Amino acid sequence: MHTILSCGNLAARQDYSKLSVAHCQQQASITTVFPQSVSSTLNFVINLEYKPNIPLYKRLSDALKNAIREGRLEPGEAMPSTRDLSETLKISRATVLRAIDDLVDQGYINAKAGSGLFVSDELPVGDQLHDNSQTVSSAARSVKFSKYAQRVQRQQKELKTNWLERLPEIDHGGPPLDLTPIKEWERLTKLHCRATDISELTDTIQPFGYPPLQEAVAAYLHRSRAVKCTANQVAVFSSKQLRFELVVRLLIDAGDHVAIEEPGYPEARYMLKAHGAEIHCIPVDNEGMMVDKLIELNQQIKFVYVTPSRQDPTGAVLSIERRRQLLEWAQRTGTYLIEDDYDCEYRYARKALPSMQAIDGGDCVIYLASFWKVLFPLVNFGIVVFPKRLLSVAEKAKMETERYLPVVEQVVLTDLINEGHLERCIRRTQSKLAVKRQALNQALFKHLKERLTILEEGGGTHQIVRFKGRADAEQILACSKKCGLPIISTAAYYVSQSQKNEFMLTFADIDDQTIEATVERWAAMIEETSLA
């Protein structure tokens, strides 16, 4: 939620609290519930264009029809009440009623008994949404894009897969919603939305975030990841994407060389390419990034992007020897290391290593963290712990790109950490995820042991599996979709030759009581189609 509050308005804060809690209780359902009526301040424009010899009701009917066609009133959305339309447009209610009747007759509006008027879920046959692009002038079409925009366009055409078209379960891969601290979040949100002194908080917000939150995050990272930092090194961002983009903008000019893992996080690679970076892919084995291969490049590297705590996607943990080797090389060459401590909260039968930042003696590690995997969908703040030598320029850049962050969410998150709810939630969730992971792996081994290999991973919320033989990836995905099994190919994680028939299967949202039956059905479908 990124609602801008008028901090001095208690009624607005209480409404915000009710809406925030309601959405949390709906468990992040993607179905939007529209009100039965809207306020007299309409949230879309009605253009009652004057047309000679055209009655007013018809002009209103046409204006509402255009709003529907152009998507300003969406299918299924509640229509403004006739009273609101009459009062706002300063026309008689009889005229409004006649216009509404006209739209009902044409099939643009449906009347639901006891609920009101709603935009039809489907437009009348033969009618389509307007393509506004058809009205763009030739001068506008000839506008020259920036080099950044051109790179983004070119990159989209080159992608192996549309990264945005992924399963929601894979997309966030967070804990089951019933394990998130929704009740605590609700209580704290109500508390702070009712507080009369919240208006004073606006004077304490800095570009790097709410100072008490900076302190709470610094203490939490020190406890959980041994991160060594002061509160003023902690920067809070509204999203994990924005935090990485700011780091890239601080360090990269078009043509600069960077190193990333292979396979590695696609979004990081796409962003680097969009900014014109020359990318070097460093292979990964069961000990993480192969640092020797990086050193052998003999190339001036601006920074290395690495996920040492849990390599994305393989799950490999960068060994302590390689961490020291990487840090020594970075200090010797003046290279920054971007440590993305991604998906490291959940570990199974594997001892946690401290963050790489914890053993950095050269002030060269830029540490990234987020609450994406533990508090989704409650909050999506991204965190950067900047080295001291970057603090001044980073604060100025943050001031220019994201000066204002949601106030209430920051205050609530501060209490959630300080009262211990966050770490209790992680411990509780880890024990549940361990059961789900074990159930999944047992089912895979029982029903598909001859057809696939399960990569041994010690943490995270997904499992990597590789099918043996000449399997058909598209058919495997089709079978998994029919079975309701959340799985995607890892092809997008590779730049060069991808691992054939390798898939990512999340277990965060599975039902451990039914997973064996699901996997058994999946295996039977694979057998029937002779995929492997």
Is residue 32's pLDDT more than 50?
Answer: no
**Domains of the chain: total:** 3
Statement to judge: residues 391 and 442 lie in one domain: no
CATH number, domain of 265, equals 3.40.640.10
Q: Three-class SS of residue 280?
A: strand
Place of tokens 């208006």: 199
Is residue 411's pLDDT more than 70?
Answer: yes
For residues 171-183, average pLDDT: 77
Please report, as a single letter, which amino acid is at residue 493.
Answer: Y
Q: Provide the strand spans (E) within 38-160.
A: 109-112, 116-119
For residues 384-406, average pLDDT: 93
Statement to judge: residues 347 and 246 lie in one domain: yes
Cβ partners under 8 Å of residue 143, min gap 6: none
Helix axes 240-251, 391-401, angle to 10 degrees: 120
Give the pLDDT of residue 25. 53
Mark residue 501 as left, alpha or beta (left: phi above 0; alpha: psi -120 to 50; beta: remaining).
left
Statement to judge: residues 95 and 222 lie in one domain: no
Q: Three-class SS of residue 529?
A: coil
β-pairing, 303-306 with 288-289? unpaired
Statement to judge: residues 397 and 340 lie in one domain: yes
310, 352 Cβ separation under 8 angstroms: no
Q: How far is CA 332 from CA 295, 298, 375, in A?
A: 11, 13, 38
| DSSP β-bridge partners for residue 370 | 382
435 lies in a domain? yes
439 lies in a domain? yes
Statement to judge: residues 521 and 465 lie in one domain: yes
Q: pLDDT (tens digit, 9 = 90+) per residue, 283-300?
A: 999 999 999 999 999 899
Q: Which of 26, 101, 107 is nearest to 60 (CA)?
A: 101
CATH number, domain of 508, equals 3.90.1150.10
169, 506 Cβ separation under 8 angstroms: yes
Place 9 in a pLDDT band, splitting at 50, 70 and 90. low
Q: φ, ψ for residue 337 (rounded to 5)?
A: -115, 125
Give the pLDDT of residue 200. 64
Q: How far is CA 259 from CA 247, 278, 284, in A?
A: 15, 8, 12
Q: pLDDT (tens digit, 9 = 90+) per residue, 87-108?
A: 888 888 888 899 898 888 888 9
Statement to judge: residues 482 and 515 lie in one domain: yes
Our measurement of the distance from residue 174's CA atom to the centroid of its chain's CA atoms, rounded to an integer in Å, reads: 11
Q: Dihedral, CA atoms, 409, 413, 415, 416, nearest 10 degrees?
A: 130
263 lies in a domain? yes
Q: pLDDT (tens digit, 9 = 90+) per residue, 142-168?
A: 567 888 888 887 776 666 555 445 555
Least confident of 119-123, 319-323, 395-399: 119-123
**Per-residue DSSP letter, 34:** P
Q: Three-class SS of residue 39?
A: coil
Q: Which domain holds residue 431?
A: 425-528
Alpha-carbon dihedral sign for residues 526, 527, 531, 532: positive
Q: pLDDT (tens digit, 9 = 90+) per residue, 432-470?
A: 999 999 999 999 999 998 889 988 776 788 889 999 877
Is residue 527's pLDDT more than 50?
Answer: yes
CATH number, domain of 68, equals 1.10.10.10
Statement to judge: residues 212 and 336 lie in one domain: yes
Own/partner pairs for 421-427, CB < 8 Å, 24+ apart? 421/181, 421/184, 422/181, 422/220, 422/371, 422/374, 422/375, 423/220, 423/223, 423/224, 424/181, 425/175, 425/179, 425/180, 425/181, 425/374, 425/375, 426/345, 426/346, 426/374
Cβ partners under 8 Å of residue 402, min gap 6: 207, 237, 238, 242, 246
Q: pLDDT (tens digit, 9 = 90+) per residue, 61-92?
A: 888 888 888 888 888 888 888 888 888 888 88
Percent of the chain at pLDDT exceeding 70: 81
Q: Which of 127, 131, 136, 83 is nearest to 103 (CA)?
A: 127
Last residue of a domain, one of 346, 370, 403: 403
Give the pLDDT of residue 491. 87
* Mean residue pLDDT across the chain: 83
53 lies in a domain? yes
For residues 306-322, average pLDDT: 92
Give the pLDDT of residue 350. 74
Last residue of a domain, one of 97, 119, 141: 119
Place 23 in a pLDDT band, splitting at 50, 70 and 90. low
Place 36 in a pLDDT band, splitting at 50, 70 and 90. very low
360 lies in a domain? yes
For residues 49-59, average pLDDT: 81
Statement to judge: residues 398 and 430 lie in one domain: no
Give the pLDDT of residue 2. 36
The pair of three-digit structure tokens given for residue 324, joined into one six-digit string: 């020291």
Place of tokens 């507080």: 195
Statement to judge: residues 431 and 524 lie in one domain: yes
511 lies in a domain? yes
The pair of three-digit structure tokens given for residue 464, joined into one six-digit string: 């990597």
For residues 254-275, average pLDDT: 94
Least confident of 107-116, 208-217, 406-415: 107-116
**CB 391: neighbour CB atoms within 10 A?**
15
CA separation for the pair 278, 271 (Å, rounded): 12
CA separation for the pair 142, 140 (Å, rounded): 5
215 lies in a domain? yes
Give the pLDDT of residue 84. 85
* Degrees to nearest 5, angle at CA 403 with 407 and 386: 100
Question: Which three-class secondary structure string do you get for 206-268?
Answer: ECCECHHHHHHHHHHHHHHHCCCCCHHHEEEECCHHHHHHHHHHHHCCCCCEEEEEECCCHHH
160 lies in a domain? no
Q: pLDDT (tens digit, 9 = 90+) per residue, 478-507?
A: 899 899 888 888 888 998 876 778 898 888
329, 291 Cβ separation under 8 angstroms: yes
Q: How far is CA 35 from CA 32, 76, 118, 471, 481, in A?
A: 10, 11, 10, 49, 34
Question: Which three-class secondary structure string do you get for 332-371?
Answer: HHCCEEEEECCCCCCECCCCCCCCHHHHCCCCCEEEEEEC
Statement to judge: residues 287 and 241 lie in one domain: yes
Q: What is the DSSP secondary-structure string of 301-338?
A: -SEEEE--SS-TTT-----HHHHHHHHHHHHHHT-EEE
257, 294 Cβ separation under 8 angstroms: no
**The model's pTM:** 0.76
Statement to judge: residues 375 and 455 lie in one domain: no
Statement to judge: residues 234 and 382 lie in one domain: yes
Last residue of a domain, one of 59, 93, 119: 119
Give the pLDDT of residue 35. 36
Cβ partners under 8 Å of residue 103, min gap 6: 61, 64, 65, 109
